[in-house]
Amino acid sequence: MDPMRLFSFLLVISWSVNIIDASLGDADPNYRRCISQCQETGCIGPKCFPPCTFSSDGELVGRPWYTQEPLYLQWKKWDCQSDCRYHCMLDREKEKELLNIGPVKYHGKWPFKRIYGMQEPASVAFSALNLAMHFHGWVSFFILLYYKLPLKDGKKAYYEYAGLWHFYALLSLNSWFWSAVFHSRDVDLTEKLDYSSAVVLLGYSLILSILRSFNVRDEATRVMVSAPLIAFVVTHAMYLNFYKLDYGWNMIICVAMAVTQLTIWAVWAGFSHHPSRWKLWLVVIAGGLAMLLEIYDFPPYEGLLDAHALWHATTIPLTYIWWSFIRDDAKFRTTKFLNKAK
Ligand SMILES: [Zn+2]
């Protein structure tokens, strides 16, 4: 992709993200009325929950600031607020359905049906399956390296990128774990953990793609190549966590890192004559197409399956192919090394 096209692509993404931020649903006066009534009385029609007014007993007034809002109260506030938002949204969507009006977003999210208290059950399930797939891939990579392929001095793998892939596996497991948590319960903390883990994983994968495709085996060069990227990713993660969680900006950074990484793998696959290069191409093309799901966002089918969940679903088979490429690469490099040594 040439720079101009990449730029316009990123512009379209940031534009669509801005639209997502200003949700139509929570601007609706009927919805707002329902929320304020629910937070005060704790009831929407016949359904009742604990109301959101806790400090009215006067017990907390006059205490130092750091004891005024204990964590459990914050949690209760989140609870009642999210219950009110959820049931007001369902009621509003039901009313609109009778008038044949399609769904709109509320607070940046489509109206999802909860299952066992999980906000986006399909995304939770697919995140868990991604996690399982990475675990399976990592275990099979481990078995191949240490039990099937020959070892240097009987203990160390010949494959020079083994350590880098082990760390990649850990970051992937971490990222999918927080993705599952975030999609079950969206609060400030879980959101930041999910976003930061994804940013760190993407940044690390980019470094890995550069090290592998340029065949960087020397430790000092590896450090030199990764240092600026690590500094950049850490700065970006700190910006998101401590300054501003800017969705549009974060999306641009993440897509830019993902597109660069996919381009590096695709170009390398073309030049390197790697025996498993078709797997790389498959992951790059399918991964690129899957990214379109993130951009052409559509409302959830039956309140469950939306574009984002489908996007998480597509990465499950891709993860399988990806780890199979990594295993092939380990076999390929080990045989090459042993043949040279003969
Ligand atoms: Zn997600």
Q: Is 4 inside any structural domain?
A: no
Is the separation of the CB atoms in 262 and 288 below 8 Å?
A: yes
What are the respective helix, strand and coil percentages of the chain, to the nearest 5?
Answer: 75, 5, 20
Is the separation of the CB atoms in 105 and 22 below 8 Å?
A: no
How far does the centroid of ligand 1 lie from the alpha carbon of residue 178, in Å? 9
Q: Residues for the chain: how many in total?
A: 342
Considering the domain architecture, whether residues 32 and 169 belong to the same structural domain is answered as no
DSSP state of 25: G
Instruction: Say if strands 47-48 and 151-152 run parallel, antiparallel, or are unpaired.
Output: unpaired
Considering the domain architecture, whether residues 170 and 127 belong to the same structural domain is answered as yes
Q: Is 8 inside any structural domain?
A: no
Looking from the CA of 191 toward its CB, the CA atoms found within 13 Å total: 12
Considering the domain architecture, whether residues 131 and 93 belong to the same structural domain is answered as no
Q: Is 2 inside any structural domain?
A: no
Is the separation of the CB atoms in 193 and 181 below 8 Å?
A: yes
Q: Is 113 inside any structural domain?
A: no
Domains held by the chain: number:
2
How far does the centroid of ligand 1 lie from the alpha carbon of residue 312, in Å? 7
Give, in order, the Cα–Cα distances in Å from 184 to each of 74, 119, 128, 149: 18, 5, 11, 41
Considering the domain architecture, whether residues 91 and 129 belong to the same structural domain is answered as no
**How many degrees, rounded to 5, is the angle at CA 57 between CA 54 and CA 58?**
110
Q: Please count the other Cβ atoms lying within 10 Å of the Cβ belonging to residue 209.
A: 18
Domain boundary among 83, 98, 113: 98
How far does the centroid of ligand 1 lie from the alpha carbon of residue 308, in Å? 6
The first and second tokens of residue 220, run together, are 């000092």
Q: Is 104 inside any structural domain?
A: no
Summarize pLDDT for 286-310 with one digit per residue, the tens.
Answer: 998 998 888 778 889 888 999 999 9
Domain boundary among 98, 129, 156: 98
How far does the centroid of ligand 1 lie from the alpha carbon of residue 170, in Å? 18
**Rounded to an integer, what distance in angstroms lies between the CA atom of residue 12 and that of residue 9?**
5
Residue carrying structure tokens 């993404």: 13
- pTM, full prediction: 0.83
Among candidates 325, 288, 316, 284, which has minimal Cα distance to 172? 316
How far does the centroid of ligand 1 lie from the alpha carbon of residue 106, in Å? 17
Q: Is 308 inside any structural domain?
A: yes
How far does the centroid of ligand 1 lie from the alpha carbon of residue 195, in Å? 9
DSSP string, 181-243: HHHH---HHHHHHHHHHHHHHHHHHHHHHHHHHTT---HHHHHHHHHHHHHHHHHHHHIIIII
Here the contacts of 139-146 (C-beta below 8 Å, separation 24 or greater) are 140/323, 140/327, 141/165, 141/169, 141/323, 141/326, 141/327, 141/330, 142/166, 144/327, 144/330, 144/331, 145/330
How far does the centroid of ligand 1 lie from the alpha carbon of residue 211, in Å? 28
**Rounded to an integer, what distance in angstroms lies between the CA atom of residue 142 and that of residue 251?**
33
How far does the centroid of ligand 1 lie from the alpha carbon of residue 179, in Å? 6
Considering the domain architecture, whether residues 274 and 128 belong to the same structural domain is answered as yes
Considering the domain architecture, whether residues 74 and 148 belong to the same structural domain is answered as no
Considering the domain architecture, whether residues 82 and 159 belong to the same structural domain is answered as no
Considering the domain architecture, whether residues 65 and 195 belong to the same structural domain is answered as no
Q: Is 53 inside any structural domain?
A: yes
Domain with 62 in it: 24-98
How far does the centroid of ligand 1 lie from the alpha carbon of residue 230, in Å? 23
Considering the domain architecture, whether residues 330 and 197 belong to the same structural domain is answered as yes
Considering the domain architecture, whether residues 54 and 163 belong to the same structural domain is answered as no
How far does the centroid of ligand 1 lie from the alpha carbon of residue 74, in Å? 25
Q: Is 262 inside any structural domain?
A: yes
Which pLDDT score, from 0 to 100, does residue 57 have?
47
How far does the centroid of ligand 1 lie from the alpha carbon of residue 191, in Å? 10
**Which CATH number is 150's domain given?**
1.20.1070
Give pLDDT < 70 ranges for the chain. 1-22, 53-77
Among candidates 173, 171, 182, 178, which has minimal Cα distance to 133? 173
Considering the domain architecture, whether residues 42 and 145 belong to the same structural domain is answered as no
In terms of phi and psi (left: phi > 0; alpha: psi -120 to 50; beta: otherwise), the region of 88 is: alpha
How far does the centroid of ligand 1 lie from the alpha carbon of residue 126, in Å? 9
How far does the centroid of ligand 1 lie from the alpha carbon of residue 147, in Å? 35
Considering the domain architecture, whether residues 178 and 263 belong to the same structural domain is answered as yes
Is the separation of the CB atoms in 292 and 9 below 8 Å?
A: no
**Rounded to an integer, what distance in angstroms lies between the CA atom of residue 211 and that of residue 205?**
10
How far does the centroid of ligand 1 lie from the alpha carbon of residue 124, in Å? 8
